[in-house]
């Protein structure tokens, strides 16, 4: 199954999750997602998702000046973002459990 289709639905949640414990800038967030196993996620998807979550008021940003490279815009979860992460996390776990049970009941190999 094409994981890019699945990613569309859960990229918000994935981005919120990797920002839960540590703020990050765009490329850094992409790297975290790929390291976590979402290897097919694209830069534009992450950038677009960050822009949208920011517009929705779930993220705050701040700029960190850099000596050698360009300034970096860091994204940070705010209160609304943390609430959203909690809610979406529950929805996902419930959904994933349902799908697991469905596949288990019918003897589909893991």
Partner 1 sequence: MNAATQAEITHYVEQVRSALADLPDQVRAELLEDLPEHLAEVLAEGDGTLVDRLGDPTEYAAELRTSAALDAPAEPVGLGRRAGVAWRATRDRLGRVDRRVGPVLGYATASEFLRSLRPGWWVLRGYLAAMLFTHLLFGGISSPLPTPGGSVPAGLLLLTVAVTGSVWLGRRGLRSTRRPRLVVTVATALALVGFASYFLFGLGSRSEGPHVVASNGGAAYLAPPLPSTAAPLDVYVYDSQGQLVEGARLFDENGEPILLGFPGWCDDTDRQPLRLEQVLTRLHGLNNVEYIYPLCPERDPFQLPALTPSPDAAPAPGPSAPSPSPS
Nearest alpha carbon to residue 85 among 59, 60, 61: 59
Which of 3, 8, 22, 103: binder of partner 1 (CB under 8 A)?
8
Which of the residues 28 through 57 are near partner 1 (CB under 8 A)?
Answer: 31, 42-49, 51-52, 55
- Smaller CB distance to partner 1: residue 78 or 101? 78
Determine, following the binding rule CB under 8 A, whether residue 9 of this chain makes contact with partner 1: no
Give the separation between CA 43 and CA 58, rounded to whole angstroms. Answer: 20
How many Cα neighbours within 13 Å face the side chain of 89? 11
Query: Among residues 2, 39, 67, 69, which is the contact residue for partner 1, using CB under 8 A?
Result: 69
Residue 28 burial (10 A CB sphere; 0-12, 13-18, 19+):
middle
Residue 74 binds partner 1, judged by CB under 8 A = no
Footprint of partner 1 (CB under 8 A): 8, 11, 25-27, 31, 42-49, 51-52, 55, 69-73
């Amino acid at each position: 199954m094409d994981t890019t289709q699945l990613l569309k639905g859960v990229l918000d949640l994935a981005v919120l999750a990797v920002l839960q414990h540590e703020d990050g800038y765009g490329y850094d967030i992409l790297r975290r997602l790929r390291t976590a196993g979402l290897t097919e996620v694209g830069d534009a998807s992450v950038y677009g998702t960050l822009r949208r979550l920011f517009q929705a008021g779930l993220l705050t940003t701040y700029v960190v000046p850099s000596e050698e490279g360009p300034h970096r815009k860091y994204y940070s979860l705010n209160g609304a973002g943390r609430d959203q992460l909690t809610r979406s996390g529950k929805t996902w776990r419930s959904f994933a459990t349902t799908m697991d049970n469905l596949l288990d009941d019918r003897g589909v190999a893991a």
